[in-house]
């Protein structure tokens, strides 16, 4: 029986640095746990444009389609800002999501107890926070047509179109309900049904799927702006939040900061199951390429490490090994180890990217 395959696309900026720590952990699982992967690597984003004149080659796209899971670091940087929109680094990531049909984006916001004081909110509001935002990823305003910048009369007009079909809403709703059944059995759907027809359809379809297939799950609806306010007021009222592409982008970044740092948050983008039962999947940290600290050993690799933990859980059905890795991260944070982004106002000496990876390895060794 062949090993499961992983395609690593480290990308730009701090992507290669944080991915280096993930590769060390993948090696640890092979050496210490007998969990082996067939790992290949390729380019995406600005580095792919530099090498090939495109942010994602057809050959790399084919590799992603064939892999059991894709691990991505980050894409982009200021040196690419003036490129034509069609070849900007982010187009490589969007192509992966679209052509792999990764419609369900899971973005957990979990506050480790050791970091509760790093949140902008009070400890009692965020301590123990563990919510999951399910963001529709392949439709909505980021993909709708018509789009573009046009000239009307004597001025330019920018147009983006919010568009959803019933089936696109239904499948991400099912993804959220299925996930809720494995958590606290509670879903809140967020849209803007008060001012957007797409929001009316979203609310109607989510309710219909619930009433036909998931009556055991508690469902509530909330306008997305009110949801943003409630995330700041009392985030622990939520468990699973399901929302569209644009609102999911905004709300998940807001939820990220409740936990103390973007450097802590992983994500999974999942599609429909393949013949082997595994979903098409791409795992990546929520943070960007952070070009201002690239190459300096300051980046926090934990979000990328936890993205690999999500791969263990959702692509390879290795929940116990995912728990092991997440527990090791928790132990490292509880020990006081901090990268620069996690340093409090009292200062201290941060550890480097590679030292954080080594600390996680040491914590994994302690579990044996």
Would residue 142 show up in a list of annotated catalytic residues for this protein? Answer: yes
pLDDT for 261 beyond 80:
no
Catalytic: which of 29, 142, 164, 214? Answer: 142
Among 59-63, 111-115, 230-234, 267-271, the range scoring the smallest mean pLDDT is 111-115
Among 98, 102, 99, residue whose Cα is nearest residue 62: 99
pLDDT of residue 117: 80
What mean pLDDT is predicted for residues 184-206? 98
Domains 1-111+262-368 and 130-258 share a fold: yes
pLDDT of residue 344: 66
pLDDT of residue 273: 81
Would residue 192 show up in a list of annotated catalytic residues for this protein? Answer: yes
- Alpha-carbon distance of 207 to 221, in angstroms, equals 9
What percentage of the chain reaches a pLDDT higher than 90? 83
Instruction: Check: CB of residue 267 under 8 Å from CB of residue 106.
Output: yes
At 343, is the pLDDT very low, low, confident or very high (cuts 50, 70, 90)? confident
Fold type of domain 1-111+262-368: Isopropylmalate Dehydrogenase (3.40.718)
- Alpha-carbon distance of 35 to 29, in angstroms, equals 5
| Mean per-residue pLDDT of the chain | 94
What mean pLDDT is predicted for residues 234-262? 90
Catalytic: which of 50, 101, 130, 253? Answer: 253
Please write the tens of the pLDDT for every residue from 281-299.
Answer: 999 998 889 999 999 999 9
pLDDT for 177 beyond 70:
yes
- Alpha-carbon distance of 198 to 234, in angstroms, equals 27
pLDDT for 263 beyond 90:
no
What percentage of the chain reaches a pLDDT higher than 70? 98
pLDDT of residue 193: 98
- Alpha-carbon distance of 361 to 305, in angstroms, equals 11
Would residue 225 show up in a list of annotated catalytic residues for this protein? Answer: yes
What mean pLDDT is predicted for residues 94-109? 93
Phi, psi (degrees; rounded to nearest 5) at 320 = -65, -35
What mean pLDDT is predicted for residues 4-21? 97
- Alpha-carbon distance of 37 to 130, in angstroms, equals 29
pLDDT of residue 346: 63
Delimit the domains of the chain by residue range. Answer: 1-111+262-368, 130-258
Please write the tens of the pLDDT for every residue from 21-75.
Answer: 999 999 999 999 999 999 999 999 999 999 999 999 999 999 999 999 999 999 9
What is the end-to-end Cα distance of the chain in Å, rounded?
26
pLDDT of residue 312: 96
Catalytic: which of 12, 42, 68, 249? Answer: 249
pLDDT of residue 185: 97
Catalytic: which of 192, 244, 298, 331? Answer: 192
- Alpha-carbon distance of 64 to 303, in angstroms, equals 21
pLDDT for 169 beyond 80:
yes
pTM of the model: 0.89
Q: Cα–Cα–Cα angle for 345, 347, 348, nearest 5°?
A: 150
- Alpha-carbon distance of 320 to 328, in angstroms, equals 12
What mean pLDDT is predicted for residues 303-330? 95
pLDDT for 347 beyond 70:
no
- Alpha-carbon distance of 280 to 266, in angstroms, equals 17
Catalytic: which of 50, 101, 130, 225? Answer: 225
What mean pLDDT is predicted for residues 260-276? 84
Fold type of domain 130-258: Isopropylmalate Dehydrogenase (3.40.718)
CB neighbour list of residue 278: distance below 8 Å, 6 or more residues apart:
68, 69, 315, 316
pLDDT of residue 277: 78
pLDDT of residue 30: 96
At 300, is the pLDDT very low, low, confident or very high (cuts 50, 70, 90)? very high
pLDDT for 318 beyond 90:
yes
Instruction: Check: CB of residue 270 under 8 Å from CB of residue 175.
Output: yes
């Amino acid at each position: 029986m062949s090993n499961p395959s992983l395609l690593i696309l480290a990308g730009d900026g701090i992507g290669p640095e944080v991915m280096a720590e993930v590769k060390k952990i993948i090696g640890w699982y092979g050496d210490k746990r007998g969990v082996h992967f067939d790992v290949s690597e390729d380019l995406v984003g600005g580095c792919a444009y530099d090498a090939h004149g495109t942010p994602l080659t057809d050959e790399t796209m084919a590799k992603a389609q064939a892999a059991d899971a894709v691990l991505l670091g980050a894409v982009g940087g200021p040196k690419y800002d003036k490129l034509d929109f069609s070849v900007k680094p982010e187009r490589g990531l969007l192509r992966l999501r679209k052509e792999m049909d990764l419609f369900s984006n899971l973005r957990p916001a979990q506050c480790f107890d050791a970091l509760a004081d790093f949140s902008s909110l009070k400890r009692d509001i965020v301590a123990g926070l563990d919510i999951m935002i399910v963001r529709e990823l392949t439709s909505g305003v980021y993909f709708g047509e018509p789009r573009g910048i046009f000239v009307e009369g004597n001025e330019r007009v920018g147009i983006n179109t919010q568009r959803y079909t019933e089936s696109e809403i239904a499948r991400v709703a099912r993804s959220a309900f299925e996930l809720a059944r494995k958590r606290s059995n509670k879903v809140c759907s967020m849209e803007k049904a008060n001012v957007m027809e797409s929001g009316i359809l979203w609310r109607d379809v989510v309710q219909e799927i619930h009433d036909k297939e998931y009556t055991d799950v508690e469902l509530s609806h909330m306008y997305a702006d009110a949801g943003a306010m409630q995330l700041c007021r009392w985030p622990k009222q939520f468990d699973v939040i399901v929302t569209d592409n644009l609102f999911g982008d905004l709300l998940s970044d807001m939820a990220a900061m409740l936990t103390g740092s973007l450097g802590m948050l992983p994500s999974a983008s999942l599609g429909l199951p393949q013949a082997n039962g595994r979903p098409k999947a791409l795992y990546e940290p929520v943070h960007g390429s952070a070009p201002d600290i690239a190459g300096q050993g300051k980046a926090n690799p934990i979000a990328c490490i936890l993205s690999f933990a999500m791969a263990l859980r959702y692509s390879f059905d290795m929940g116990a090994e995912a728990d092991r890795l997440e527990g090791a991260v928790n132990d490292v944070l509880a020990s006081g180890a901090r990268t620069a982004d996690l340093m409090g106002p009292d200062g201290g000496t941060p550890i480097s990217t590679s030292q954080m990876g080594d600390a996680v390895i040491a914590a994994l060794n302690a579990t044996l």
